[in-house]
Amino acid sequence: MQDRYAMPMPMPMPMQLRCGRHQLDLSYPRVMGILNVTPDSFSDGGRHNALDEAVYRAETMLAEGAAIIDIGGESTRPGASPVPLQEELDRVLPVVERLVSELDALVSLDTSRGEVMREAASRGAGMINDVRSLRWPGALEAAAMSGLPVCVMHMLGEPTDMQLAPHYEMPIEEAVAAFLETRIAECEAAGIRREQLVLDPGFGFGKRVEHNLRLLNRMQPLTDFGLPLLAGMSRKSMIGKVLARPVEERLPGGLALATMAVERGARIVRVHDVGPTVDAVNMTWAVLQEGTDA
């Protein structure tokens, strides 16, 4: 008889993520709704209160089936420069407070700043989403102190320069895996438990369209880390470039990408258009579950 310890078991993926007061069930794919609170993301022109509008948008996304609301006060679009700390705090904290107190929402904070992480955590945020993977001074410590799950994402360079001439010395999927492996180790060394990490290939962050397409197609091996994968491609320029569509006409392309991400192992999909994506993801999941007795 074969030694039952001879075959290494695949690392079990954490199916439940503890997010402060919330428990996030990742035994099936979930949708994260994007809530940008940068001044240019509101249509009000001063007529409505921007804070009320943000709360209303979050409420709509939750009603459409979003499991997480990702609040971002810093534009990380290609070419964008960082906003001053106080401005970021002023933008995001009132929104965190209202989404937590009025909607009991699971809020994630799209930030690279330790101060923002700390303040948001103390107001009830449940997750940290840092496109710079806690590489800014103080971020590792603040994230560890918060005890919240952290999404670590691959990015080559900084938003200011990342799209100028992205170049890799190795296949993109290997570069991303190597980067994530290093970040996981740094997070663990700082006291963040491995089971509290979510991994993101970072579509559009220092990548040409060919890089993005290849990375999505070859994303499955990233599940070997045994951690949940998050994919964010909603409205991104990879869709614009392939389909020649302006940003407001990228939903069908985005649904195709969300479907493929789930098929290749993503458990969180970060999008602007929550309702249609929830349907696309749930339909995809139904097919993937076929025959598994789940």
154 near ligand 7PJ, rule: CB under 6 A: no
Distances (CA, A) of 36 to 32, 124, 167, 243: 13, 18, 29, 25
Of 124, 126, 149, 232, the one binding ligand 7PJ (CB under 6 A) is: 232
Closest by CA to 151, choosing from 91, 105, 111, is: 111
Helix (H, G, I), strand (E, B) or coil at 219: coil
Which residues between 98 and 117 bind ligand 7PJ (CB under 6 A)? 110
Which position among 200, 229, 251, 278 is part of the footprint of ligand 7PJ (CB under 6 A)?
200
**Cα end-to-end span (Å), the chain:** 30
| Of residues 176 and 230, the one with the C-beta less far from ligand 7PJ | 230
Helix, strand or coil for residue 283? helix
Q: Which is nearer to ligand 7PJ, 228 or 232 (CB)?
A: 232
How far apart CA 145 and CA 121 sit, in angstroms, is: 10
Polymer length in residues for the chain: 294
Q: Which of 83-91, 98-106, 197-205, 253-261 is the region at the interface with ligand 7PJ (rule: CB under 6 A)?
A: 197-205
- DSSP character string of 73-142: -S--STT--PPPHHHHHHHHHHHHHHHHHHH---EEEE---HHHHHHHHHTT--EEEETTTT-STTHHHH
Q: CA angle, corner 106, sides to 247 and 285, nearest 5?
A: 65
Q: Which of 203, 223, 255, 262 binds ligand 7PJ (CB under 6 A)?
A: 203
Binding mask 77-96 for ligand 7PJ (x = CB under 6 A): x-------------------
Q: Which part of the chain contacts ligand 7PJ (CB under 6 A), choosing from 1-9, 99-107, 229-237, 247-255?
A: 229-237
The residue from 38, 129, 163, 223 that contacts ligand 7PJ (CB under 6 A) is 129
Question: Which candidate in 98, 208, 236, 267 is catalytic?
Answer: 236
For residue 43, count other CB atoms closer than 10 A to its CB.
Answer: 9
Contacts of 40 (CB under 8 A, 6+ apart): 75
Residue in the block written with tokens 């789940």: 294
Q: Is 91 labeled as catalytic in the residue annotation?
A: no
- 40 or 290: CB nearest ligand 7PJ: 40
Q: Select the residue interacting with ligand 7PJ from 236, 250, 264, 267 (CB under 6 A).
A: 236
* Interface segment toward ligand 7PJ; rule CB under 6 A; list 17-25, 195-203, 206-214, 246-254: 195-203
Report the C-alpha gap between 109 and 240 in whole angstroms. 27
Among 140, 230, 262, 266, binds ligand 7PJ (CB under 6 A): 230
Q: What is the spatial distance between Cα 152 and Cα 254, in angstroms, rounded to a whole number?
A: 22
HSE toward the beta carbon, residue 237, CA cutoff 13 A? 11
Concerning whether 270 is annotated as a catalytic residue, the answer is yes
Task: Choose the binding region for ligand 7PJ from 7-15, 221-229, 230-238, 281-289 (rule: CB under 6 A).
Answer: 230-238
In whole angstroms, the minimum distance from the beta carbon of 205 to ligand 7PJ comes to 7
Which residues have a catalytic role annotated? 236, 270
Residues that bind ligand 7PJ (CB under 6 A): 34, 76-77, 110, 129, 131, 151, 153, 200, 202-203, 230, 232, 236, 270
